[in-house]
Amino acid sequence: MVNGDYAYPSTMNVESVHRVAIPPPQPFLKSLKYSMKETFFPDDPLRKFKNQSASRKFVLALQHFLPILEWAPKYTIQFLKSDLIAGITIASLAIPQGISYAKLANLPPILGLYSSFIPPLIYAMMGSSRDLAVGTVAVGSLLMASMLGREVNPNENPKLFLHLAFTATFFAGALQLSLGLFRLGFIVDFLSHAAIVGFMGGAATVVCLQQLKSILGLEHFTHKADIVSVMSSVFTQTREWRWESAVLGCCFIFFLLVTRYISKQRPKLFWVSAMAPLTSVILGSLLVYLTHAEKHGVQVIGELKKGLNPPSATDLVFVSPYMGTAIKTGLIIGIIALAEGIAVGRSFAMFKNYHIDGNKEMIAFGTMNMLGSLTSCYLTTGPFSRSAVNYNAGCKTAASNIVMSIAVMLTLLFLTPLFHYTPLVVLAAIIVSAMLGLIDYQAAIHLWKIDKFDFLVCFSAYIGVVFGSVEIGLVIAVALSVLRVLLFVARPRTFVLGNIPNSSAYRNVEHYPNAHHVPGILILEIDAPIYFANASYLRERITRWIDEEEERLEGAGKTSLEYVIVDMTAVANIDTSGISMLEEFKKSVDRKGLQLVLVNPGSEVTKKLNKSKFLDEIGHKWLYVTVEEAVGVCSFMLGTHKANPKKDEPEGLNSV
């Protein structure tokens, strides 16, 4: 029985072997409470309320929903100086971006300014991020234009299209608020990093292509978002191209990209890139005004209404057939806005080493979008470009959003007439320069190097957006991400373990080629919970491991297989299908004359196996805390008893 690769102990102290304990029974309600808490309250938000007076609990509750009440009492003059500079800086970016993105959404340009006034004020009171700068985003604007445009033509019926935009924003906010209140934010996590990279890159590509309408000065353009339709629309109208507009657009794109490059190379010059869009608007407006370029094919914004946000509560559309479209659009843009805003907020929180509450963020986003829809605003979130400027400008608190909001308010009250001569090509250039930063090809290359399936998810989402539509790309991204989760669950990894020489460690023989097989014993590890989705696969895979091991031993002329040890350390849970699988598997190994041994099943697994009587069936003496102990006992029996252990078991081991 002795094998040169492994020497089993000649003596075995049975009393030193540790038994797997059966966890004490827990009341059903207590177990349910624990499971619910871990699912919906992993951050334990009620911990700070323990042992507090009623008045203190009331104050803490207010601070939970209105974080401004927590940081405002500690606010200092130094904070004000930093937030003032940051707020003015992001306002210079928010004003031209807001107008540009509103045009992208096929909405009146003034809505971009409205959406940069009310929502930032609400977020400053309710948001938990110090660095997030709130405003409209290109991807959300494109999604809204694409989805609503299929139901209502914005040129033929602009009023209804506007009302549907408010309604979609309302439903987006309602979804976000509901996810936050019911603590369902984990749903957003189904959008993987790879899916977001591909989706954002595809959406940015489509947005850039659609700006060819303004850059080339075209009046008639396709409402479709796919690359084939866009390029077909561009090249079938070559006679309508305006060289004046094209030259102007290329010059401003070059200017904006150069300023961004300067700011990236020298972070202290962040203000160069931040001020570039407003500078472009001013220069473009002056150029058009002085040369009367609007009479030579250069399209301009035209008149913008002065004044603050008018109410729009009565404009919401809650009747068929349009309500269904508004709900569908709201749900999709709401999820995308959440994913982007929370991801951006967490990124900057990591840089400054503080924590943001995802559920608070969802409540803040939902509230600002719902109230925004009632005050002539459309979808807002925390865009990366604006937040990056806010971060680099040295903001200290969310008060920078208040400063930005005040600057936008002053613009709405006094400065809107100055935008009359702003050329649309400048707005297109601003959008193109911002979108190029979202095409993260370096992240795609990184995904290819690290994980080919993640790259496939990324690339598929990109292709889906560019050649299909934004919705198709989103569906592909989510579907592939969910498919990968299902594959992880349905096809868990199993390993053959071997003994590392001169140690008591047992590791994967593929990972550690020098790990030795233990004679007469097959050691397997299951690396996932056992559920109905993977139970059949695991039974078949483990049976195949046994067959392969028996063939290997037979071919090598070594000791026949007697024991199958299954390390269940990584099996956190098991359902009834998994238990049935183990029962069937045990019968299978019994027919082969083998002994099944389990190692270190988790507490939940042990409780369920005990309640199902499986432990009685297998025998408690065949449960061990470590692989080392299991191998020691099995090797001891192999060395002292040549007969089948199932037929001739020593009485001394019955107490193990």
Mean pLDDT of 34-44: 68
Residues 438, 501, single domain; the answer is no
The dihedrals phi and psi of 566, each to the nearest 5 degrees, come to: -115, 115
The percentage of residues in the chain with a pLDDT greater than 90, rounded to a whole number, is 36
Question: How does pLDDT run across 623-638, given as a tens digit for each residue?
Answer: 999 999 999 888 888 8
* CA-CA-CA-CA torsion sign (368, 373, 374, 376): positive
Residues 422, 497, single domain; the answer is no
Mean pLDDT of 604-619: 90
Closest CA to 375 of 440, 300, 420, 316: 316
Mean pLDDT of 553-561: 79
| Structural contact between residues 136 and 112, judged by C-beta atoms closer than 8 angstroms | yes
Q: Is 51 domain-assigned? A: no
Mean pLDDT of 89-106: 89
Residue 652 reports pLDDT greater than 50: no
Residues 338, 472, single domain; the answer is yes
Q: Looking at the whole model, is its pTM more than 0.75?
A: yes
Residues 477, 508, single domain; the answer is no
297 pLDDT band, cuts 50/70/90, is low
Q: How many domains does the chain have?
A: 2
- Distance, in Å, from the CA atom of 234 to the CA atom of 238, rounded to the nearest integer, reads 7
Question: How does pLDDT run across 358-400, given as a tens digit for each residue?
Answer: 888 999 999 999 999 999 999 999 888 788 888 888 889 999 9
Last residue of a domain, which of 454, 486, 518?
A: 486
Residues 628, 647, single domain; the answer is yes
Residues 348, 446, single domain; the answer is yes
Residue 334 reports pLDDT greater than 60: yes
For residue 589 the two structure tokens come to 């190994």
Residue at token pair 């999820």: 335
Closest CA to 277 of 116, 91, 418, 402: 91
Q: Could you please report the per-residue DSSP string of 365-394?
A: HHHHHHHHHTTT----B--HHHHHHHHHTT
Burial class (CB in 10 A: 0-12, 13-18, 19+), 158: middle
Q: Which domain holds residue 94?
A: 79-486
Q: Is 3 domain-assigned? A: no
Q: Is 41 domain-assigned? A: no
Residue 655 reports pLDDT greater than 50: no
**DSSP β-ladder status, 506-508 and 595-599:** unpaired
Q: Is 260 domain-assigned? A: yes
Last residue of a domain, which of 486, 513, 532?
A: 486
Closest CA to 568 of 598, 588, 604, 538: 598
pLDDT of residue 554: 82
* CA-CA-CA-CA torsion sign (418, 422, 426, 428): positive
Q: What is the CATH number of the domain that holds 611?
A: 3.30.750.24
Q: Is 574 helix (H, G, I), strand (E, B) or coil?
A: strand
Residues 237, 308, single domain; the answer is yes
Residues 634, 568, single domain; the answer is yes
113 pLDDT band, cuts 50/70/90, is very high
Residues 228, 350, single domain; the answer is yes
Residues 129, 176, single domain; the answer is yes
Cα diameter, the chain: 105
Residue 103 reports pLDDT greater than 80: yes
Write the secondary structure of 52-95 as one string of H (helix), E (strand) and C (coil).
Answer: CCHHHHHHHHHHHHCCHHHHHHHCCHHHHHHHHHHHHHHHHHHH
Last residue of a domain, which of 486, 502, 518?
A: 486
- Distance, in Å, from the CA atom of 86 to the CA atom of 130, rounded to the nearest integer, reads 12
Q: Is 328 domain-assigned? A: yes
Q: Is 382 domain-assigned? A: yes
16 pLDDT band, cuts 50/70/90, is low
Q: Is 33 domain-assigned? A: no
pLDDT of residue 575: 92
pLDDT of residue 333: 93
How far apart, in Å, are the Cα atoms of 106 and each of 201, 382, 606? 21, 21, 60
44 pLDDT band, cuts 50/70/90, is low
Residues 474, 618, single domain; the answer is no
Instruction: Specify the amino acid at residue 149.
Output: G
Q: Is 52 domain-assigned? A: no
pLDDT of residue 656: 39
Q: Could you please report the per-residue DSSP string of 270-321?
A: HHHHHHHHHHHHHHHHHHHHHHTGGGGT--B------SSPPP-GGG---STT
